[in-house]
Amino acid sequence: MRILFWYDKNTTNPDHGCISCSVLMKGKESYFTTPITLKEHERKLHWAGNKGRFQKQRKTYHADNAYLSQVESKLGEIYDGLMVLKGFEFIDAKMITDAYKFFDRPENAKLKPDREGLRLALEGKHAIAPTLIEIIEKHKKNKSRSVSKDTVTTYNTRIKNLKAFLEKVGKKHLQADEFRPAWCKKFCEYMYNEGMHVNHVARHIVFYREALDEAVTDEDIAYNPMGKFAVKRDDTKDLRHLHPYEIEKLENFDFYAATQNRDYAQKLSKVRHLPFSDLYELSHFRLLSPEHRLHSNAKVRTLDHQAPK
C-alpha cells in the first residue's frame, strides 16, 4: 500500500484547493479530501509536493503536517487490521479509504481500528456503541411490558446499583462494548463489599447479559462484551421460607394419619429440617390431632392450635 498527499485544485474555483490523500494498492487508487485548504498562489510557496508536506513558510505548517502524519498513521493501522481480519487477497484501496472515512466521522471518534471497529466500518454502521446504562434501560423498558410492577421495581434496583458502581469508579458513561469480564468482576466485588448475597449479584449479572444479548439482536452493538463471564450461585436452600407448592402440600397433608406410623413420622423430621421430630414427641401426637387445623390468611399460612370445646 502506498499513501500520497497532493494538492487538489477546485475545478469550480481554480484559485482555491485542498490537500487530498490517495491510497494505491494492487494497481488501483482510491482517495479522499482532507480539511486542509490553501490558495493556488500559496501552493508554490507552502506545499512540497514531492514530500507530501508543508514547508516552513506556512504559519500553520507544524499543525498541518502533524495532521497529515496522523492520517498516514491511521491508514496504516487500518491496513494492518484489515490484513488480520480479512487477509491481503480480500482487501483493496477503496476498502481502506472507506474505513478511514468511517473512523473520521465525529460520531465515531471513540472507535478504534481494531477487529471490532473494523467490522463496524465494513458493515457501514456509523454510530458509536451506546452506553451500558442506555442498553440496560432499553432492555428494562422492553421487558416491563409483560411483567408485574414488583418485577419492574426489581429491574430499577439493578439499574440503580449499576449506576452507583459506575459513579464510584468514575465511569458514568461506560460504553456498552467496554463491559468486559474485568469490569464485571469489579462490579461483583463492589456488590459484595456492599453486603449483597452472591445469588443477588448473580441475578444482576444475568439481567445485564440479557440486555447486551438483546442489544446484539437489535444491532445496537456487534457482540456481547461479557463473554462467558458468570457468577457461581450458592445452591444452599433457604430454609426460612416455604415455596407456594410446599404450602399447598402442607394444606393437603393429613398429619394425624401420617403420625400413626412411627417410622414415617421420623422420616418427616428430615424434610427441609422442619421440626416434625419435636411434634412427634408431644403427648401422643396431640399437636397433630384433629383439634389442630391449618389456618391461612392473605399472605401467611401457619399451623394454628384450635382449643377444644
Are 247 and 301 in contact by the 8 Å Cβ rule? The answer is: yes
Tens of pLDDT, residue by residue over 43-64, are 888 899 889 999 988 989 899 9
Tens of pLDDT, residue by residue over 137-147, are 999 999 998 88
Distance between alpha carbon 222 and the CA centroid of its chain, in Å? Answer: 11
- Answer yes or no: is pLDDT of 277 > 80: no
Compute the distance between CA of residue 71 and CA of residue 292 in angstroms, rounded to an integer. 86
Task: Give percent of the chain above pLDDT 90.
Answer: 38
Look at 18-22, 103-107, 146-150, 246-250 and tell me which has the smallest mean pLDDT: 246-250
The predicted pLDDT at position 294 comes to 44
Tens of pLDDT, residue by residue over 254-276, are 777 766 777 766 666 655 444 44
Distance between alpha carbon 31 and the CA centroid of its chain, in Å? Answer: 36
pLDDT band per the 50, 70, 90 thresholds, residue 21:
very high
Q: Is 94 exposed, middle or buried (0-12, 13-18, 19+ CB in 10 A)?
A: middle
CA pseudo-torsion sign 61, 64, 66, 68: negative
What are the φ/ψ torsions at residue 52 (nearest 5 degrees)?
A: 70, 30
The predicted pLDDT at position 259 comes to 67
Tens of pLDDT, residue by residue over 185-201, are 999 999 999 999 999 99
The predicted pLDDT at position 265 comes to 65
Q: Is the pTM of this model over 0.95?
A: no
Q: Which residue has the higher pLDDT, 291 or 133?
A: 133
Any idea what the Cα angle at residue 47 is, between residues 43 and 52, rounded to 5°?
A: 135
Tell me which residue of 53, 34, 28, 33 sits closest to 43, measured CA to CA. Answer: 53
